[in-house]
Amino acid sequence: MDPRSGQVLERNRLDALVAARVLDRFGHSLLNDDPAFAEQVPTAENIALTAFAELAPAIAAARPGARLVRVRLEETRKNSFETGEHR
């Protein structure tokens, strides 16, 4: 953690990881064609689980000792799904 800012990972680096691993891959695309959804339906739940699986190792690699705790996907103001570490 940066002692001055209190951030575990700089915001611009986190944004770049999310863009590269999730937004660029899933945004404005036909999710049924993505290999991650060849065996499952691309529901909000499955997208969030896949995003977590993509981001967790990337964040750990970007900052040793850092770990992703939670991913939240919001479809609408009333419909969202949250997933996190499974112990």
pLDDT digits (tens, 9 = 90+) for 55-71: 999 999 988 888 899 99
Condensed to tens digits (0 to 9), the pLDDT of residues 17-54 reads 999 999 998 888 899 999 999 999 999 999 999 999 99
- Assign 3-class secondary structure to the chain: CCCCCCCCCCHHHHHHHHHHHHHHHHCCCCHHHCHHHCCCCCCHHHHHHHHHHHHHHHHHHHCCCCCCCEEEEECCCCCEEEEECCC
pTM, to two decimals? 0.84
Quote the pLDDT of residue 78.
92
